Chain A
Amino acid sequence: MNQTTPNSFRNGPDERGHFGDFGGRYVAETLMPLILDLEREYRAAQQDPEFQREFDDLLEHYVGRPSPMYYAERLTEELRKGAEPGMGAQVWFKRDELNHTGAHKINNCIGQILLAKRMGKTRIIAETGAGQHGVATATVCARFGLPCVIYMGAEDVARQSPNVFRMKLLGAEVVPVTSGGATLKDAMNEGLRDWVANVHDTFYIIGTAAGPHPYPELVRNFQSVIGTEARAQLLARTGKLPDLLIACIGGGSNALGLFHPFLDDPDVKMLGVEAAGHGLDGDEHAASLLGGAPGVLHGNKTYLLQDEDGQITEGHSISAGLDYPGIGPEHAWLKDTGRVEYTAVTDDEALEGFQLLCRTEGIIPALEPSHALAAVAKRAPQMREDEIICMNLCGRGDKDIFTVAEKLGVEI
């Protein structure tokens, strides 16, 4: 890499929304004036103490922040059993699964609905894969009394019926998308089509740190509350910074939320965990960084799963939340600069991680962070006993028990 090391990894993106070669604003002209508006409004909100106060207040009293920082003692001991003497890092969890609605997604939705309100928008749309972002969006729409349309791939509607019912209870209209492969990317296409036809009154709450600028930046900033809290909590509890941060990556918002406040701490290593599905050697995975190539989709330039003609290929993961053929552009940049290491974990390894946490800590994790758990199980034994791993436990697993039961051959 003949790229000079930047003075800070936290200054991106540039004024055009680029993180190095990645990011940008690759949208149809109809949307362009709108995202320029959004950027202006976001800059004004950033300068407005009242906006920040309202955001902080809702995070504290509605979402339940700060989320706890938990030392997973029994898991740590369990992983030390397979380690050399003196080895086996301490495993800590940032407990974002304890948030209202059960995942980190709500942090971003609170921020974006406050922006929507500020812009005078009266209708909210969103896409969802596993349904977590859909539920979080439907939740904030109910809280603020705004009508809400959620686009969800028809495949996912079938896979995630409890979340579909939750969204409906919260007053959202759930539109099953049958075009393409009927999963998350197709839901995002349909969201963009709705937006382009309803630009005057509609705000699109994008669920991850991807899409056209300024979405990757503003989603990251709203999610950075995770890392900011984690940094202060770990310093207070352990007297030092963690040695390794680990988080799963679909679009990458929970990982960026944890990583970003630590990016300029040179001794803190970071590991992003993609979904390897049935394995990176085949086509059935969702690892855009490790198994994809740079390209343009959904408003940004980033790593994509695609064929040699630039046609987008379908991702696969046991976790509907990671089953997306792209990734946030800041991750693409962090990969190319080498600041963050990326790895991938298969469906089977994630299932083992899922069960390991249930047994050792009495926590049922979502399948998404179960990928991060599998990586923790591999890395911890290779690190010293006095070293600290902090993993973002970004979602709880209630929604996944049916998928897991099916995989384990259990009838419920």
Chain B
Amino acid sequence: MTRLQNAFSKPQAAFVAFITAGDGDTAANLDALVEGGADVIELGMPFTDPMADGPAIQSANLRSLGKGTTTADVLQMATDFRERHPDVPLVLMGYANPMIRRGPEWFAKAAAGAGVDGVICVDIPPEEDDALGPALREQGISPIRLATPTTDAKRLPKVLEGSSGFLYYVSVAGVTGLQQAAAGSIEEAVAALKAATDIPVAVGFGVREPAQAAAIAKHADGVVVGSAFVDLVGEHGANAAPKLKELTASMVAAIKSA
């Protein structure tokens, strides 16, 4: 069983936590997420033009790049994380250009070497899979795709083809961190996705409160929280770790009680 499969095989929904690499004390923050009980870690690769992200993650990207974070730094953070946490799945999330700059094979190899389990590339839809997908699969890394409220039943098989790890359902048409979807629409969408695939379905975008996480956990295989963590890092800077751990623990408790 892979680390990702293992994370999604628990009785309750998996808790997936996102932070931006190089924003605040990344190593301490990652440890705090694990200690708080996160099942999967998404580490955001900073990019100058994060066009699918709302203000919180945009700012995190700029803070990180402003400190001079490089691709090599992000890969080193992943490598160090893997040494400290051999069993916790780690997913890199970001945009195409930093991932393919040195060629998709270079990136896939480097990510595999750093112990990365999956990659979410926001702006490579299945239509452009050639740009990165084959290189990731060759290295045994899961290309994790996004499904959205605009992905209809006809299109869904195309999104699923060649993807693995989990399916990330973006619950609202919009950027990260702003709006939240109605619980009813999520339930319906998740049911449709689960009818079409065996890979786990995790739901994200706009999830900020433990109660929302609990509501989603009733139906989905995983709940993703990003902007709420990133906001804490923005607010508390290098001292955010205890706050991240606290929020993670309350999210995980809410999911368990769902």
Contacts and interface: CB of A to CB of B under 8 A. Distances in A.
A126 interface: no
Given A185-B49, A199-B150, A310 B71 contact: yes
A224 interface: no
Interface stretch (A49-57, A68-76, A159-167, A189-197): A189-197
Contacts of B210: none
A27 B123 contact: yes
B174 A33 contact: no
Given A197-B173, A296-B131, A297-B97, A30 B148 contact: yes
A32 B155 CA distance: 10
7 contacts: A26-B124, A26-B125, A28-B123, A29-B145, A29-B170, A197-B179, A310-B47
A312 interface: yes
Interface of A: 16, 24-34, 179-180, 185-186, 188-189, 192-193, 196-200, 295-299, 301, 304, 306, 308-313
Contacts of B99: 310
- Most chain A CB inside 10 Å of its own CB: which residue of B98, B99, B125: B125
A309 B70 CA distance: 7
B48 A180 contact: yes
Nearest to B74: A309
Contact of B128 (A25, A180, A188): A25
B205 to A, nearest CB: 10
Interface string B94-111: 011111110000000000
Given A25-B128, A296-B131, 8 more contacts: A26-B125, A26-B128, A30-B150, A196-B174, A199-B150, A295-B101, A296-B123, A311-B48
Given A26-B125, A28-B52, A306 B101 contact: yes
Contacts of B123: 26-28, 296, 299
Interface of B: 47-52, 54-55, 58, 62, 65, 70-71, 95-101, 122-125, 127-128, 131, 145-152, 155, 159, 170, 172-175, 178-179
B125 A312 contact: no
A144 B134 CA distance: 46
Contact of B101 (A28, A298, A310): A310
Contacts of A31: 150
Nearest to A188: B51
- Most chain B CB inside 10 Å of its own CB: which residue of A30, A199, A200: A30
B175 A193 contact: yes
Contacts of B148: 28-30
Contact of A32 (B97, B100, B125): B125
Nearest to A34: B150
A33 B146 CA distance: 13
A185 B151 CA distance: 27
A357 to B, nearest CB: 35
A15 to B, nearest CB: 11
Contacts of B127: 16, 24-25, 32
Nearest to B125: A32
Contact of A312 (B48, B100, B150, B152): B48
Contacts of A299: 123
Nearest to A199: B173
A197 B174 contact: yes
A304 B95 CA distance: 15
The 9 closest A-B pairs by CB, nearest first: A310-B101, A197-B174, A310-B98, A310-B97, A296-B96, A30-B148, A189-B51, A29-B146, A312-B48
